[in-house]
Amino acid sequence: MTTIEVPDIRIPTDLLPADGRFGSGPSKVRPEALAALAGVGVTWMGTSHRQAPVKAVVASVRSGLAELLRLPAGYEVLLGNGGTTAFWDAAVFGLIADHSQHLAFGEFSSKFAGAVAAAPHLEAPDVIESPPGTHPEVRAGEGIDLYALTHNETSTGVAMALRRPAGVAADEALVAVDATSAAGAVLFDPEEVDVYYLAPQKALAADGGLWLAACSPAAVDRIGRLRSPKRWCPPSLDLGIALDNSRADQTYNTPALATLFLVDQQLRWLNGNGGLEWAAARCGRSAAALYGWAEASDHASPFVADPAQRSPVVGTVDLDASVDAGTVSAVLRANGIVDTDAYRKLGRNQVRVGMFPAVEPDDVAALCACIDHVVAALTA
Ligand SMILES: *Cc1c(COP(=O)(O)O)cnc(C)c1O
């Protein structure tokens, strides 16, 4: 670990964004949602999750997510504790029958493949990789019962279109999509997926600790066929138990009440403003500001070469070798602009910018001007 001396560079106040949170997860939580939480603080926090007020919010989260994602009839929203990482473990027990295929193109998509590879009860997964900054394509294969895709690879800023593998019928294999950083911000057709799962500390602008999964009838059927006692599973990871509890607007064990409240606030805000189309257009404006700036800049360039694969929610921008991106992020942090650091394991001279629906497109444009200011000061 090297400690960076942070150069004393003050960014003029009129250049600064109104809100300096650009993290890719946890990400900016809207001040209005936090004020609403504070407003109900003493009647909400510290109350039972088995009583009507909390169950009503769980019901609202389930129906709000179904509305936002425009789920077809028959799809159900499940939820449980432990975030996306716990959901991967649950999927190892309760969604994959024998053999899965994984598109691995960054830290998160590779982690799910790794969890499957370590499971003694499953066949070794079919893992298709591509270099960071790109995504591989699905290859329909004999005997594959689950295809694992990632809507937005948060570590590299690569987004992919969601389609069932060519020639694979909807009831032949499940398509399971890690949508942790895309859900509620990127358009897709739910008919092309069976499990669209996420944790709410990214595009849904809440806090971590929870997983949510929109499941098609085929996915619900698979959960029923694999659930214990048919296959042993730790109860906290048992999707059958999660299904029963979700249908009763509960979780198997105690959830974080603040997280539930904040997810509900964000879903209401998104649905009330025009839903997924609106959110996607808003993120599109932020992304146009960031990538447009980077393309025009002589010290910055978009990391993802193919514009079609550039994420509209997590922007990765390489900086010229003459400026150290870590120093730029540190100077930004000293000026109240936080979490623009590159994903550490990617090891690039890069900034990474969360452009989720909660982030103001004008603030992204302001951030670009601030980076220009810092680069100019560092290279002067
Ligand atoms: C953040 C992230 C995860 C991990 O989520 P946790 O809730 O921390 O387990 C998984 N997948 C993607 C795409 C992510 O962005």
H-state helical runs in 107-247: 107-117, 217-226, 239-247
> pTM score, two decimals?
0.97
Nearest atom in ligand 1 to 209's CA? 7
pLDDT in tens, the chain (380 residues): 556 689 999 999 999 999 999 999 999 999 999 999 999 999 999 999 999 999 999 999 999 999 999 999 999 999 999 999 999 999 999 999 999 999 999 999 999 999 999 999 999 999 999 999 999 999 999 999 999 999 999 999 999 999 999 999 888 999 999 999 999 999 999 999 999 999 999 999 999 999 999 999 999 999 999 998 899 999 999 999 999 999 999 999 999 999 999 999 999 999 999 999 999 999 999 999 999 999 999 999 999 999 999 999 999 999 999 999 999 999 999 999 999 999 989 999 999 999 999 999 999 999 999 999 999 999 98
Nearest atom in ligand 1 to 201's CA? 7
d(CA 82, CA 78): 13
For residue 270, report the distance from its CA to the centre of ligand 1, in Å: 21
The answer to whether 146 touches 193, Cβ cutoff 8 Å, is no
Q: Which of 84, 85, 109, 112 to mutate to test the pocket of ligand 1 (most atoms within 8 A of CB)?
A: 84
Separation of first and last alpha carbons in the chain? 27
- Binding-site residues, ligand 1, Cβ < 6 A: 25, 83-85, 108, 150, 154, 178, 180-181, 199, 202, 208
For residue 86, report the distance from its CA to the centre of ligand 1, in Å: 10
**161 closest CA partner among 309, 38, 36:** 309
The answer to whether 75 touches 101, Cβ cutoff 8 Å, is no
For residue 96, report the distance from its CA to the centre of ligand 1, in Å: 19
Instruction: Name residue 104's amino acid.
Output: A
d(CA 327, CA 108): 26
H-state helical runs in 49-181: 52-69, 83-94, 107-117
For residue 78, report the distance from its CA to the centre of ligand 1, in Å: 17
For residue 287, report the distance from its CA to the centre of ligand 1, in Å: 21
Structural domains of the chain, ranges and CATH numbers in brackets: 32-272 (3.40.640.10), 275-379 (3.90.1150.10)
